[in-house]
Structure 1
Amino acid sequence: MADAATIRSEAPDGTGFIRAGSGAPVLFIHGVGMDAAIWQPQIDLMRDRFDVIAIDMLGHGASQLPPQNAGLSDYADQAIRLLDHLGLDRVAVVGHSMGALVAQELALRAPSRIGSLVCLNAVFRRPPELAQAVRERAAALDGPGDPSAIAATIARWFGNPIPPALTDAAAKALAALESVDAEGYARTYRLFASADTAHADRLADLAVPALFMTGSEDRNSTPAMSAAMARLAPVGQCLVLSGEKHMMPIASPQKVTQRITGFLDEVADVPASAEAGPAFDAPAFDAMEFRRALGSFLTGVTIVTTIDEAGDARGFTANSFTSVSLDPPLVLVCIAKKALGHQAFSTSRGFAINILAEAQKAASGIFASKASDKFASVAWQPGQTGNPLIEGSVAVFDCGMEQLVDAGDHSILIGRVHDFTHNGAQPLGYCRGAYVTPGLSQEALAAAAPSGTQVGAILENDGRVLFFETAEGAHQLPAGRGLGAANDARSLRGKLAAKAIDAELGFLYAVWDDATDASRTHLYYRGTVDSPVSGDGQVRFVEIERIAELTIADPAVRSMLARYARERAEDTFGVYVGNEVEGEVRPLAKPASSAPIHTGPIHSGQR
């Protein structure tokens, strides 16, 4: 076992490698055009706890050239010879890009030697246009390194122009590309161009826990590819890092290394024969926030999505959604057995449930149809597990498959939530064969209200409520004469627009008549708001628990806010109806402590 020093050595067969640290051994395999030194950030971050070995692949660094028509087995055999030379019987292996293909080959050829597998930015079943582009690049690699080709590669990996934050990483990659042996690079790249299907029929035999991790912005090693590989591997897991591209190990080394070490720690005691299933425990959840996210579903409409075995996005419309458990966080949705997508979803490793907003009615119809390219109609991005998340949704639950339950002519998909988001947008509902749009009540109520009605809003942002501060130091909620429009300076919307406040109004919260002026009515909505960017000195965000400390002139508003703080803490809201002296709160739903109501499937779409 190595000590704390970094050792740059060569094995008897000429293989170059770096070794540093002590602890559980981890073998790192780089991608095409790089060398062992590209892993220096991981070596520095892991050497205190791990015995880190980084190999120079055949044709790279100090290692000898691969055969003229090399296969993945040649590169895997090189790694096995190095392990034998170092006296290592069993290691974890981490591979990037081409190195991930070699790592898979190694785990499949010598399963007794590999304890766990991490595949970073791996390719799998490239779509035809991408496969053609890679083959064309490979065909052009017959001579010395082409500066223009190298520049194009750097631009593809890091962007053009290169963001300042990535300058050092790009320089490191450029130096490796400029120094790599041209023939070794060409032979390896030609293999890389054709090896994306090498394990398509073999991943089911992968006996070890495997993490397939890529970046959401990687256009060549896409999230769909990682999700498909994780689905095929018996103990596979997909993780997508938001905003990252192909060279994320050097572009964001701390983030990537943290995920690698977290995975290695979690699977360290999992035997190779462990029952197939996710290797990770679900992250800790804020139970109240999770309950609020689930509450976004108003007998509503969802689009359920996944990635199928071929790496294609699949989805169907359903309103057969419900929460199952807070601890562990479980949800379920139903799909008809006759649906075209039943095979893909019933055999998937996970799925995402996208709760639709009012504006997404058209998307609901498309995903309930047999349209051939449903995802062309929506903007979406992969979640942490690789499942498609549809932009603009009221709430999204990104799940791993917990259990598949046979239920008559439907299958019940029970998912363990790995990640979720939600917002204050109006949900799209469905009842008695028709869509329901609760948000229309705002317009209808505003139109029916007397002309002198004061309309205000309690607008929340990350546990804070928006106020306008007066010159005397008092605080007021945003309010105006009627709901109005942005160009009506006296209305609520006009007053918000004047301060560049982007607000989303939700449900009605309070209605009361003015005790001194019977013709004047007050309406207040709940809603959400983005942080203003205008720099207006009158705009204040106040934590909900500190609202009671504010000076608020109107006693009715002060009383309403006290109720809001209480109901917000209990997550049980009602609507106040009466006048500013007396009235009643009419609950919108049963208290959170009541048993949840579970409803059966109403309809489920296809594909």
Structure 2
Amino acid sequence: MADAALIRRTAPDGTGFIRAGSGAPVLFIHGVGMNAAVWQPQIEMMKDRHDVVAIDMLGHGSSPLPPENAKLSDFADQAIALLDQLGLASVAVVGHSMGALVAQEIALRAPSRVSSIVCLNAVFRRPPAMAEAVRERAAALGGHGDPQAIAATIARWFGEPVPAGLTGAAGTARSALESVDAQGYARTYRLFARADTEHVDRLVGLAAPALFMTGSEDRNSTPAMSAAMARLAPNGQCLVLSGEKHMMTIASPEKVTHHIRAFLDGTTEVSVGTDPAFDATEFRRALGSFLTGVTIVTTIGTEGEPRGFTANSFTSVSLEPPLVLVCIAKKALGHQAFSTSRWFAINILSEAQKTESGIFASKASDKFAAVAWQSGQTGSPLIDGSVAVFDCDMEQLVDAGDHSILIGRVRDFTHNGAQPLGYCRGTYVTPGLSQEALAAAPQGTEVGAILENEGRVLFFETSDGFHELPAGRGLGTPQDARSLKGRLAAKGIGAQLGFLFAVWDDAADPSRSHVYYRGMVDAPASGDRQVRLVDIDRIAGLSIADPAVRSMLTRYVRERTEDAFGVYVGNEVEGEVRPLARPAPSAALQSGRR
């Protein structure tokens, strides 16, 4: 079969178009400066199941010019006339950028002609500064193939310089811009510059199922715009493709077309869970990044026997009435007992109860033989030594995928000042040396921090070209210029300290200690030339005077890559890395499967 892009046709009114394939009809409408041929990848990937029609908009390709003061209705009427010529009563419409505005106009003017609509990189209610910039570009349009204007457009769409992987896509866009009729381009762009508010009050009447898709890096057709349109459209959905820019239709055609086909082929909801790129293992790891407490949930079985399982899926729901919830997997051994019970209790564990947590996360036959407990008001077991307990009536059982949600109305509760047991990334977490205790440490203690911001670490560059981490005499206060907090405050740096990362003594002076934390930092003001944010993968190439700090940073880079941090204890010559905690006995702890 001949290349579909070369089978160009002309309608009686002069409209140029490409048609290929068979099946459910789809009309593609390009953006300003492009033409029907830019849909070549989509045509090739969809013609096996769709009758694909790609139109040259007025003023583009081989189509006639639009009126001097064109309206969206002029472009919509052109497309509807083509559908009439081709005998297509109803089609799905896919529009990109300006083409998305035309697609909306068709669906709003002739709803019976549109079965569904996909708006790619559409504009909607531009912010004032952005609107002014677009109007200025429209007013400054030059003659045919203006090299300066084309270069600026390519840079805006693809970056400057164009990344190596996008040179082909950029070349396709550049060829279209160089060949477009200058007058047609100018008239269309002037309309595009003012049409972003055309449908503000009309989208609520868009009856067709609508997908608004854009790229996360599209600065002119932003994710917020697509989300706003999807909220207004009665059957609207929003999808943002990570890392994509304005010309994602030709920069990542496979990805974009996959989502177009899924939507047009009857997918009723765009969901990350159905995306073939969705990684369930990584999803579980991401959920595990949430630092939680650990609980043992208990009840009494049908024969009066105590039942229980370990879970960290606990949260408060309401103060009035007092409601809490916890989740249990449907395949858990105790699911039947808990889903049919009228009562249950939630015991929040202390740092001293790791053993109890492990027992109730296991398949041990008599878990309660290893713990001291007593009955609460509801009869549910309350475990001694817990930081807090909530004795609950079953308020509601909610079906939620492969889990059930137990919502309890708290009848009685107790709590104390013990330190709770933490859980994160598959391990029990004990932060160790608290910042409060550190504040009272000897003044000679050096306290520093590895502060991260979006994959970069904060350093201070010295006058002789070395790099050092922020550190000071003691944790201190913002008013103490020699302390860590004081040094950060003096440079206007906002930081949040997290877990302890390393503690070591000077080999030459054992009375002098070094304590370093991990933490996060806001992007510092650019005025201070000593402050540097360095990409993590470039840390190895820095000049760092202190060999102990250099060694610590090498470990930091490695452990961050492995997502498994420990705490170094020793001196600058020798020591050991101790895990934050031992791994939990069972991966089932995450969702309470035991």
Structure 2 length-normalised TM: 0.55
Aligned partner of 1:497 in structure 2 is: 553
Report 1:508-547 matches (<5 A): 524-526=578-580
Deviations 1:561-599 (A, max 9, x none): xx73x6253336xxxxxxxxxxxxxxxxxx8247xxxxx
Aligned partner of 2:43 in structure 1 is: 43
Which SS does the other structure have where 2:221 is aligned? coil
- For residues 498 and 116 of structure 1, do their structure 2 counterparts lie closer, same or farther at Cα, with a shift above 3 Å needed? closer
- For residues 184 and 237 of structure 1, do their structure 2 counterparts lie closer, same or farther at Cα, with a shift above 3 Å needed? same
- C-alpha separation in 1, matches of 2:44 and 2:425: 44
Residue type matched to 1:17 in 2?
Answer: F
Aligned partner of 1:571 in structure 2 is: 589
User: Is the counterpart of residue 70 in structure 1 residue 70 in structure 2?
Assistant: yes
Which SS does the other structure have where 1:161 is aligned? coil
- For residues 523 and 221 of structure 1, do their structure 2 counterparts lie closer, same or farther at Cα, with a shift above 3 Å needed? closer
Shift of 1:35: 0.4
* Structure with larger Rg: 2
Report 1:123-134 matches (<5 A): 123-134=123-134
- C-alpha separation in 1, matches of 2:437 and 2:559: 19
- For residues 299 and 488 of structure 1, do their structure 2 counterparts lie closer, same or farther at Cα, with a shift above 3 Å needed? farther
Aligned partner of 2:257 in structure 1 is: 257
- C-alpha separation in 1, matches of 2:71 and 2:235: 26
Which SS does the other structure have where 1:501 is aligned? helix
- For residues 282 and 499 of structure 1, do their structure 2 counterparts lie closer, same or farther at Cα, with a shift above 3 Å needed? closer
The total of aligned residue pairs comes to 375
Deviations 1:481-520 (A, max 9, x none): 67955799998x775434563546999999xxxxxxxxxx
Aligned partner of 2:474 in structure 1 is: none
User: Is the counterpart of residue 16 in structure 1 residue 10 in structure 2?
Assistant: no
Aligned partner of 1:233 in structure 2 is: 233
Residue type matched to 1:571 in 2?
Answer: L
- C-alpha separation in 2, matches of 1:133 and 1:65: 25
Report 1:84-483 matches (<5 A): 84-141=84-141, 143-267=143-267, 278=269, 280=271, 282-283=273-274, 286=280, 289-290=283-284, 293=287, 296-298=290-292, 441=434, 444=437
Contact 1:142 1:183 in 2 (8 A): no
Which SS does the other structure have where 2:266 is aligned? helix
Shift of 1:201: 0.6
Aligned partner of 1:28 in structure 2 is: 28
- For residues 495 and 152 of structure 1, do their structure 2 counterparts lie closer, same or farther at Cα, with a shift above 3 Å needed? closer
Shift of 1:236: 1.1
- C-alpha separation in 2, matches of 1:110 and 1:228: 23
Q: Comparing 240-249 with 120-129, which one deviates more in the overlay?
A: 240-249
Which SS does the other structure have where 2:292 is aligned? coil
Report 1:595-606 matches (<5 A): none
Which SS does the other structure have where 1:567 is aligned? coil
Deviations 1:192-241 (A, max 9, x none): 00000000111111111111111111111111111111111111111111
Aligned partner of 1:467 in structure 2 is: none
- C-alpha separation in 1, matches of 2:3 and 2:150: 35
Which SS does the other structure have where 2:118 is aligned? strand
Residue type matched to 1:44 in 2?
Answer: E
- For residues 327 and 246 of structure 1, do their structure 2 counterparts lie closer, same or farther at Cα, with a shift above 3 Å needed? farther
- C-alpha separation in 2, matches of 1:123 and 1:133: 14
Shift of 1:22: 1.5
- Point out where structure 2 has 5 or more consecutive residues left out of the alignment: 295-314, 319-323, 331-422, 442-500, 506-512, 517-543, 568-574
Residue type matched to 1:298 in 2?
Answer: T
Residue type matched to 2:96 in 1?
Answer: H
- C-alpha separation in 1, matches of 2:329 and 2:593: 15
- Point out where structure 1 has 5 or more consecutive residues left out of the alignment: 271-277, 301-317, 329-421, 429-436, 449-477, 511-520, 527-559, 573-590, 595-607
Residue type matched to 2:218 in 1?
Answer: D
Shift of 1:94: 0.6
